Amino acid sequence: MSVLADEQVLGHIDDALSSSCVPIDSLMRRMFSLGFRPSDEAGTLIFAVGLYVVNYNAARSLDSTELESLAHAKSQVLGHPVVSSFLASKGYHLINDAAGVTN
């Protein structure tokens, strides 16, 4: 059984993501105003988290269920060019490292 089948878990996830929307939005606006561009691992992960929270809350505002909103946010994050390029690059390096390929 998935923990996401539990209504209390979904409620806690919803509370956490809903309450973090305003601070995440403020953080992202400030970072981008300072010239932030997600180019390294930490920056890309921060960007992905912000994107996830914003998209989750956008879906919730359209009366999507928690599960629908989680799926929507995931698809938006994984489909974003910055995130998908980062993940592809990580996969490329992991495979090359495992195969002993050096650049």
Q: What is the pLDDT of residues 81-96, one digit of tens each?
A: 999 988 888 765 566 5
Q: What is the pLDDT of residues 13-56, one digit of tens each?
A: 999 999 999 999 999 999 999 999 998 999 999 999 999 999 99
Residue type present at position 16: A
Determine phi and psi for 100, rounding to 5 degrees. Answer: 80, 20
Please give the residue range of the domain that contains residue 57: 3-99
Radius of gyration from C-alpha coordinates of the chain = 16
Q: What is the pLDDT of residue 58?
A: 97
- Say if residues 50 and 82 touch (Cβ distance below 8 Å): no
- Say if residues 56 and 70 touch (Cβ distance below 8 Å): yes
**pLDDT > 70: percent of the chain:** 85
HSE-CB of 73 using CA atoms within 13 angstroms: 28
- Report how many domains make up the chain: 1
